Amino acid sequence: MNITELYLSYHSKSGEQDDDANLVAAHATMQVIHNHLLHMGTFFTLTLCCRNRHTCNFYNNLMEKLFHMWGLSMVRFVVLQENSTQRVIGSRRYNMILTDSYEAFREIDVAYYTRNNNYNEYYYIFLQVRDAFAQSNLKQIFAYCWANAMINCSVQLQNSHGEITVYSYFPFTEQCCGCVEPVLISRFNGTDFVKPILFPRKLKNFHGCVLRAAIWHIPPFAYLQSDERGVSQIVGGIEGHLLLQLSEILNFTIEVKVPPDNIFQIGAIRMLQDGEVDMSLGSIGQSPALLEIVSSVASYYQTRQILCLSKNAYFLNSLEELIFPFDTTTWLLIWCAYLLCWALCYLLTKYCRHCFEQNVQPLLNYLAILLGMPTTHTPMRYYGRLLFLTWLCFTLLIRAVYQGVLFTYAHHDTIAPIPTDFSELVARNFTTVMSKMNRDLLSDVLFLQRLPAFTTKRLNGTNAFDYIRHISKRNYVAIEPVDYLHYYEKEQNKTGLFVMMRKDLMNFQITMYLAKHSFLIDQFEEEIWWIRSTGLLKRWTLVELGARKIVEDTDAVDVIILENYYALFAMLGIGLAVALLVFGLEILSLRVRFLRKLFLKIEYFLE
């Protein structure tokens, strides 16, 4: 007997079976299409790749029966010829693949189309192969799926008796981590699948398997603590609590890997790309540039990028308190009005001497009224009195407003006007102070590129606030997320150290980054949305940042100390010195003829 010819005859009929068995396969496939693929999405991709002529005939027969059962639905057909290198670009989230071997499946090159996706796809693979080769082909297909982060892979087989079974793999079990052993998940009894779930959830329980996280100590988002062996553990923080909660829900173990500080986010992203870690978090904002090379879950925390100035630098000194009640325009108008009234009165006394008494001294009288002092002379004429009365009412209102504002300034911590917009920062040549982390994040902001910059050495954003507080200059502004400000105030146990500009720089969306096309994306996103909806993130924020308000002592009495009015005493000292100088000159004028003539001319001019 020629064994070789018998084997070839047997092998050449690998795709041939009874029409009843073909009809059962068509019913099973149709159920998968309508109850699963089209139920999850509006359309799916059907890919056919077979290398055995008889198996191709089987799939042609299967498709003919499917077309008789097909309803109104959207599908994209892709048929791959042998050794074809043509690529059919398009979304492939939901897929049905008809193939006859692992080698033919590899030719489809599914990973080429999905490696840059930010979601998990679904693959239902109909593998028509001889019973003897079924298990080996299954293991190879599942190994390929796991290697390319294709977590939702299910394979349908039909044996020589026409029985249809469905297999999948579960990478995390009590026995191993990263398993690719085929597991039977359902059977088709001719009308329905015994177990209707053909894409079982595989990541609800990691059974203690290790997931690696690139994370650094950056309060208030993550707190790390190292033991005597140098092994870091997460002990708190807003995102630290989030990761610990995820590990508890999904039952996985966290292995912390701290990226190098000198390259910060670049180091973490590089670790993701190289497969050294599974995730990275710790106050990392969403960035279009990062999303091109790694994947991320939905943003779970939103904060604001604020522009903050040292309040101590903007406190008014005593000279500024005298000037700041009125702006420059108001002061200019007051003195212009004073000079106008004095000039008018001077002209009247000079060219109409009978209108005023002699030695009226209008300059000193008007200045006295302006300062709230009594006048030494009252004009005899009615229009002169009307002029003084008008000036008296005007100065009374001005002095009332000035004294009221000055009183407020003296009893409260009043600050000088701060910049109101970004253009003013540029016009006044402000120096921006940021952490290296924030500097890298905001490197594309145009207006920041036009300002001098100072970058703090440490990653923690609180260093920027500490720097501007101690340097205490008005042209320095810190730019950081507002959470760092609240954390700094909590650490200092004091509020009111800084003043924020009204306009925020931008909203800051914080997220967790994963390796591109990570198998964790969908599962983590679902759990994070659940955690967020329960209010846990708000609770952790309150724990880490506190109420952010310090209760002030309402019984405390504000005391105005001498230092607050040093400018007044300086002016008094200058005035006394000038008066003493004039007194000395007047004494000398009794003996020096030149001084005596000079004083007579000044007295005549003032009259």
Q: Domain coordinates of the chain in residue numbers?
A: 3-188, 208-300+511-550, 318-411, 562-606
What the block records as the tokens of 99 is 């193939």
What pLDDT sits at residue 251?
A: 95
Q: What is the pLDDT of residues 414-427, one digit of tens each?
A: 777 788 888 899 98
Asked whether the bond before 196 is cis by omega within 30 degrees of 0, the reply is no
For the domain with range 208-300+511-550, which CATH number is right: 3.40.50.620, 3.40.190.10, 3.40.50.12160, 3.30.1330.30? 3.40.190.10
Sheet holding 94-99, edge to edge: 74-79, 43-49, 94-99, 122-127, 152-158, 164-168, 183-188
Mean residue pLDDT across the chain: 80
The yes-or-no verdict on residue 559 having pLDDT over 60 is no
Prediction pTM value = 0.75
Tokens 């050495």 map to which residue?
A: 457
Q: With pLDDT > 90 as the criterion, what percentage of the chain qualifies?
A: 28
Could you tell me the sign of the dihedral formed by the alpha carbons of 600, 603, 605, 607, in that order?
negative
Q: Which helix (H) or strand (E) holds 78?
A: strand 74-79
255, β-bridge pairs:
212
56 versus 536: the higher-pLDDT residue is: 536
CATH superfamily of 3-188: Response regulator (3.40.50.2300)
Domain 3-188 and domain 208-300+511-550 have a common topology: no
The yes-or-no verdict on residue 337 having pLDDT over 80 is no
Helix (H) and strand (E) counts for the chain? Answer: 23, 20
Query: What is the arithmetic mean of pLDDT over 455-476?
Result: 86
> Between 53-69 and 19-32, two packed helices, what is the crossing angle to 10 degrees?
60
The yes-or-no verdict on residue 146 having pLDDT over 50 is yes
Tokens 């600050």 map to which residue?
A: 415
302, β-bridge pairs:
509
Q: What is the pLDDT of residues 176-235, one digit of tens each?
A: 999 999 999 999 988 889 998 999 999 999 999 999 999 988 889 999 998 888 788 999
What pLDDT sits at residue 329?
A: 77
133: Cβ contacts below 8 Å, ≥ 6 apart? 101
Amino acid at the residue 488: Y
